[in-house]
Every structure is written in C-alpha cells, then in structure tokens.
Chain A
Amino acid sequence: MTLLAGQILNGIATGMLYALMGLGLALIAGILNIPNFAHGALFAVGAYLTVSAINAVGNFWIALVVAPLGVAVLGLVIEYAGIRRLYAAGHDYQLLFTFGLSLILAETIILIWGPVGISQLPPPILRGGIDLGFTFYPKYRLFVMVAAGLLVTATWLFLEKTRYGAIMRAGIENKEMVSLLGIDIHRMFTVAFALGAWLAGIAGALTAPIRGLSPGMGVDMLGIAFVVVALGGMGNVLGAIAAGLLIGVAQAVVAAYWTEASVAVIYLVMAAVLVVRPQGLFGIR
C-alpha cells in the first residue's frame, strides 16, 4: 500500500512535468501551426544547461532561472532564423526542419557534454525526505510537484486573464482574423515559440535531479509530449494537466509491478483512450 501511494505521488510529480512539456508544445503547435520535433531536444538542452550553470555558479536556484532563459533565447533564434521562413511551406518541410534541428542539438549535446549520462543532486535544502504519515517521500519530488503546478497555473493565468494571453488564444482559433485586427502576428509567433521553449527548458531543469541526464532524454520526452497534446488538445491547459497526470500516474503504477513495460504503457494508455475517444480527452477538433 505504501509502495503504491509512493508511486502515485511519483506519477503526479512526473505527470506535472509532462503537462509542462505538453503545454509548451501545444502552444507552439496551436499558434504557429507547426509540428515542433525539436521540443524534446530543447528539454534536453534545458537540463544540460542547468547542470553547467550549477557547476559554474554553484547555486541551483540561479541555474533554475538562467538555464530555461537560455533555452528561451535559443527558441527565439530558431524561430527568427529558421521557422519564420517556413510558415508558407507545408508541414512536411516544417517537420524535416525541426527534426534536423533535434538531430543537431542532440549531437551537439554529445559533443559538449559527452555520450555518458550525468547525475545531478538536488540542492542541499531539498535533499532527503519527509514523513507524510502514510509514506516517506523525497523532498525534491514534492518541490517539483509544487513548482510545476505553479508554472502550469501561471501559464493558465497568462492565457486566460491577460490581454496578450487572450490575443494568443484568439490566434489559435483564427490567425487571419487576429492579423486583420492589426495585431503583429509574427511577433506573437516569436513570443509563442520562445514561451514554449522556455517551458521545455524549465521541465528539463526540474527533471535533471530526478532522472539524471543522458543524450537520449530529449527523444523520450518528445514522444511523451506528443501524447499529452494528442490527448489534451491544443491551447487547453486543463487538458494538458489531465493528460499529463493520466500517463504519469499510469507509468508510475505500472513501473512498481512491471518495470519493463513502464514506458510502453504511456503509449498504450494513449492508444486505449483514442480507441474510445478518437478526439482526445476533451474532444477538441
């Protein structure tokens, strides 16, 4: 029972990270209308930058702020120098471009940080665990749960309660109309891509002390982010949270009894949901 409770908590923590990834990807897919195959690579870059920043300044909290900002800047450059030229091209070329980028980023990670995995400790204050009454639980994972929850909430508030967020949601619905109203749609595209990249970078930074780092971490996360968007829909914060938690908890519970199947189960859950609900959890488009 304790094992199961612990695993469910683990599932909630990773599920919130999945939700962050899916949210960023959904923003990019919804607003720019491109399939961003580099999203996983941005996640990995976020994790590696965090480790380098911790080694450079010796402070986790500064790294947690700086590294995702670095990823956001990278996203800014990618959108400005490459993706901007591909809006008129089809999905096939957009896919090939972002896929090429993900190969470049993944290989660059190997060139800079080496092919072997790296482990990263949580900051001293978050090491060790807390007795929750029914189970003893690592502090860092509780922190991740809260931090990811706050970030998702902040993104939701931004999209729902601010003027620019409302414009962005309108952009998902109808780009032409937004453009006709005199809003600089290209700047909105750049902002959306940078914001999505920033969310991926934060997810990477938060993941580093949980799972460690390896060059393949980006691709694994990419598939999961796709699942979150396929199930939760685009521009739907609630959908991303529900989908993230669903697959996160399913994965953690299965891992307790049948470790080998713990990754495949993410995709099996998605397939099962799609058999029953082809349009995803909340039936958008």
Chain B
Amino acid sequence: MSWRTVAVIAAMVALPLLVRPALAAEIWIFAIFGLGCNLLLGYTGLLSFGQSTFFGSAAYAAGWLLKHYGVNVFVALAAGTGVGALSALAVGYLCVQRSGIYFIMLTFALNQLFYFVAYQWTSVTGGEDGMPGIPRPAMLGIDFSSPIAYYVFVSLLFLVSFWVMKRVVESPLGKILQAIRENETRAEAVGYDVARFKLLAFVVAGAFSGLAGVLYAMLFGIVPLEAIGFVFSGNVVFATLIGGSGSLYGPIIGSVVFIWLSESVSTVWARWPLLLGVAFVIVVLFFRGGVVEAWSRFLAWRFSRQRT
C-alpha cells in the first residue's frame, strides 16, 4: 500500500470523529461524484457542466424504487448506477459530436432539459418540494438507520469506486483517454475512434455519478430538486478543480474542502451562494493550481520568510 492509500483510509477513520457522520458520509459521496467528473475533466479533457443530470436522474429513479417498491439496497444501487450510465449515454451521444465551447454549452442545456422535466413532473419527483420519504432499508442484518453504520457502508463503497476508477485510468482505455486529452487530432490519426472513447468515458462517469446520487438520496431520505440542478453541476466541477484535476486523489481533497466550505458558509448567511461565487472568483484569479499548488506556494512563502 502506498502512503496515499494509507492516508485515505486514515482520513476515513478520522472524519466521523471530527464532523457529524452525515456530513462525513456526504464528503465521500461527493468524492464518488467527483471521481466521475475527474475522469472526464482530468483524464479525457472534457469539461461537462451537466454532471448533475446523471446524479439527479439516478437519485430519483432509485428513490422511487425504494419508496414505492421497497427494493433492497443492492437493487437500488444497481438501478441508480444503470440509470446514471444510460442517461449519460443519451446526453453524451449528443454532446461528443461537438467540441470546445459548444460541448460545454450542450452539457448545460441538456442538464436544463432534465431539470425542467423533474421540475414539472410533480407526480413522480415532487417538483420544487423534492421527493421525500426515501427509506434506508436494513441489509444483511445491518441496520442502516444508524448514521455511523451508513457512514461505514458509504466509505467502503467509496473505496470500491476508487479502486475501480484506478483500474480504469491505468488500463489501456485510460491511456487512450489521456491521449485524447493531450492531443485529440493525433489520437484520431493513430486510429482511435475519438468520439466513441469520449462517449465511453461519459458512460463510466455517468455510472459513478449515478452511484453517488443513490447514496445521496438514501443519506438524506429526500431527493431535492437541486440534486438535478445546474448549481450542483458547477459544484462538482469546482471540487474537482480545487482538488487538482488529473490526479486520482484530487476529488477527495476537493470534496473535503468543498463540503466543509459550503457547510460552514451556509450556516452563516442565507445568501451563501454569493460567498460561494466570491470563492470561485478568488480561486480562479489567484489559486488556479488548486489546493495542492496553494499549499506549495504557502510552503515557499514560509521558506522565504525563514531565510530573511
């Protein structure tokens, strides 16, 4: 085991001691969501501003199954992951044919399509009120109503997701995706069907987003309309970027920082999106390399002060 893996497991043990278990669970759920976003942004060079499409669709689908059909947790997880992948297939099919700014705009516009369907389809989604009353059924004799039991379950699923994503990015597929990120024309010239590989990356990212969506719905017992909204899509891009995209560990750092940040800010002021916006602007203008670069700049600053 590398020291990084040890650090992740240590963080997993320490987090629920430092913050509420529900908040700790949210961090790992958001990190799974970030893993998917990072596969697109960090490894394939695709900036999707519509990741909540897959997150939200999966949350609604699994929530509906849990609520009305009393399915067990595994069925809910499998269904949500499947819905995430399928919705990503549909959205990705339309988006990968365009590139650059067009691509970003399309992911956002299709996110809006799903949002407005969820907004108006009140008999299923509850519209603006959200879909409440989602149970967290016991499984294999473990009672998930205890926050700490659910936390352990979520963090184990994160480890599995992390391992799967590591395998994906280190596989030949992962190398091809990175080749597309580095030089799309060249990857095409070497003989890879770039559009198909982009679509594949989309589907994998959608599956991860879907898994995160189901876990989110079970964590809070409700799917709020925001779960399929554009702000959520922006948040995961932000978390991926501040963690440092293109590193497998980036989404973890990003998720910890982002969830902690939004939690502490949202309790301070009702107009907290304003502060979030200010944070986005400041990070972009002054800390473009993310937390990792900010830390090394801080160290360099300390070092230069010690010398003088």
Contacts and interface: CB of A to CB of B under 8 A. Distances in A.
Interface of A: 29, 33-35, 37, 82, 85-86, 89-93, 95-97, 99-104, 106-108, 110-111, 219, 222-223, 226-227, 229-230, 234, 260-261, 263-264, 267-268, 270-271, 274-275, 278-279, 285
A111 B271 CA distance: 8
A86 B101 contact: no
Interface in B60-118: 94, 97-98, 100-102, 104-106, 108-110, 112-113, 116-117
A234 B101 CA distance: 10
A97 B284 contact: yes
Contacts of B230: 219, 223
B281 A107 contact: no
Given A96-B284, A230-B106, A278-B97, A261 B273 contact: no
Interface string B263-290: 0000000010110111111011100100
Contacts of A222: 108
B271 A230 contact: no
Interface of B: 41, 47, 49, 94, 97-98, 100-102, 104-106, 108-110, 112-113, 116-117, 120, 230-231, 234, 237-238, 241, 245, 271, 273-274, 276-281, 283-285, 288
Contacts of A267: 109-110, 112-113, 116
A226 B277 contact: no
Question: What secondary structure prevails in chain B residues at the interface with A?
Answer: helix
Given A86-B284, A222-B108, A230-B102, 11 more contacts: A29-B105, A37-B108, A97-B284, A106-B273, A110-B271, A226-B109, A230-B106, A260-B120, A261-B120, A263-B120, A279-B98
A100 B102 CA distance: 20
A92 B241 contact: yes
Contacts of B283: 96
Contact of A230 (B109, B238, B241, B280): B109
A226 B281 contact: no
A24 B284 CA distance: 24
A231 B41 CA distance: 24
Contact of B281 (A37, A82, A229, A279): A82
A264 B116 contact: yes
Nearest to B235: A99
A285 B98 CA distance: 8
Contacts of B109: 223, 226-227, 230, 267, 270
20 contacts: A29-B101, A33-B100, A33-B101, A34-B101, A85-B285, A86-B284, A91-B100, A92-B41, A96-B280, A99-B234, A99-B280, A101-B277, A103-B276, A104-B277, A107-B271, A229-B105, A230-B106, A263-B120, A271-B113, A278-B94
